[in-house]
Amino acid sequence: MAEVLVYVDHVDGAVRKPTLELLTLARRIGEPVAVAVGGGAAGTAGVLAEHGAVRVLTAEAPEFADYLVVPKVDALQAAHDAVSPVAVLVPSSAEGKEIAARLAVRIGSGVITDAVDLEAGEQGPVATQSAFAASFTTRSRVSRGTPVITVKPNSAPVEAAPAAGAVEALAVSFSAQATGTKVLSRTPRESTGRPELTEAAIVVSGGRGVNGAENFAVIEALADSLGAAVGASRAAVDAGWYPHSSQVGQTGKSVSPQLYIASGISGAIQHRAGMQTSKTIVAINKDAEAPIFDLVDYGVVGDLFQVVPQLTEEVNARKG
């Protein structure tokens, strides 16, 4: 059976959820072969095997941490050349998209970014994308070379599918460009204890209606009751109520969770662009005419300061 390369996003051997989702999609088009590089790469094999990787190609070298993305592209290209896969799947993070684009240029292939679904097709894998602020859904396939496809988080379920997961060392020779940009230092972001916004299964967002930085505690309490990440509209971010890194939308992060709860957000096209592919959308807004209600699955017309705390209380009560 044809093999599909899956680029593994991991932190010191801990595999991030979007990679496991890629394995689910990869199994639709062939046998997944995972490529894990950097410190702890070998430690990823167990969980990758549990989720369908028939082989795990690993490479550990200081270059992966000491320089920007080119060493990773070198490794993925080495894997591509060794395996001759039917497709290369990469998580749709900023880094993933850079790796995918560079690889596609090198191997003379087409690249599809931000796919939200993937299926086998007679002439190669067919990717679904959501375009123009999710006004259109497109289905496309790469017509030249090995398709390189980046897939948004939360586009597929994580499924157990035990496979051999045989670990093999991947020989990588680094290109001249690999050591061009050295990382001099790293400052880890202070953890909120909440899931990463772009990967979270549930996102609770607040907008101008939250009316102040201190009031975001109401949004955070609901998020914490659900184990969710916190997002914000640009209006809330620009007002200094929440960090820019939490902005959802055209000029912020793009999220595609199972559940998106928008509180005090009007639903401007630029906000929708970053959340419209969420599976279930709930909005709480005191204005029944707010445009956000045009795209919701469930809408509550009401004051968020009354509705959100009640919702939090109810969620907590049901958990107890």
Shortest CB 195 distance to ligand FAD, Å: 20
Q: Which of 265, 281, 282, 311 binds ligand FAD (CB under 6 A)?
A: 265
Residues 15-54, one symbol each (x = binds ligand FAD by CB under 6 A, - = not), give ----------------------------------------
Shortest CB 125 distance to ligand FAD, Å: 30
Q: Beginning with the edge strand found earlier in the chain, give each strand of the sheet holding 3-7 in spatial order.
A: 136-140, 126-131, 111-119, 148-151, 87-91, 3-7, 31-37, 55-59, 166-169
d(CA 301, CA 8): 43
- Residue 85 or 274: which CB sits closer to ligand FAD? 274
Residue 304 found at the interface with ligand FAD (CB under 6 A)? yes
Residues forming beta bridges with residue 230, ordered by sequence position = 204
Residue 208 found at the interface with ligand FAD (CB under 6 A)? yes
Residue 252 found at the interface with ligand FAD (CB under 6 A)? yes
Shortest CB 256 distance to ligand FAD, Å: 15
Residue 287 found at the interface with ligand FAD (CB under 6 A)? yes
Residue 247 found at the interface with ligand FAD (CB under 6 A)? yes
Shortest CB 161 distance to ligand FAD, Å: 36
Query: How far is residue 28 from each of residues 25, 31, 121, measured CA to CA in Å?
Result: 5, 8, 10
Q: Where are the beta strands (DSSP E) in the chain?
A: 3-7, 10-11, 14-15, 31-37, 55-59, 87-91, 111-119, 126-131, 136-140, 148-151, 166-169, 202-206, 229-232, 259-263, 280-285, 298-301
**Three-class DSSP category at 203:** strand
Residue 152 found at the interface with ligand FAD (CB under 6 A)? no
Q: Which tokens sit at 20? A: 């496991």
Residue 130 found at the interface with ligand FAD (CB under 6 A)? no
- CA end-to-end distance (rounded Å), the chain: 48
Residue 270 found at the interface with ligand FAD (CB under 6 A)? yes
> Which stretch in 96-104, 128-136, 140-148, 234-242 sits in contact with ligand FAD by CB under 6 A?
234-242
> Which stretch in 12-20, 21-29, 194-202, 297-305 sits in contact with ligand FAD by CB under 6 A?
297-305
Shortest CB 277 distance to ligand FAD, Å: 15
CB burial of residue 187 (10 Å; 0-12, 13-18, 19+): exposed
Q: Which of 85, 96, 153, 274 binds ligand FAD (CB under 6 A)?
A: 274
Shortest CB 130 distance to ligand FAD, Å: 16
Nearest to 127 by CA among 156, 99, 104: 156
Size of the residue set binding ligand FAD (CB under 6 A): 28
In three state form, how does the secondary structure of 58-90 look? EECCCHHHHECCHHHHHHHHHHHHHHCCCEEEE
* Cα–Cα–Cα angle for 210, 235, 308, rounded to 5 degrees: 20
The footprint of ligand FAD (CB under 6 A) covers 207-209, 233-236, 247-252, 264-266, 268, 270-271, 274, 284-287, 290, 303-305
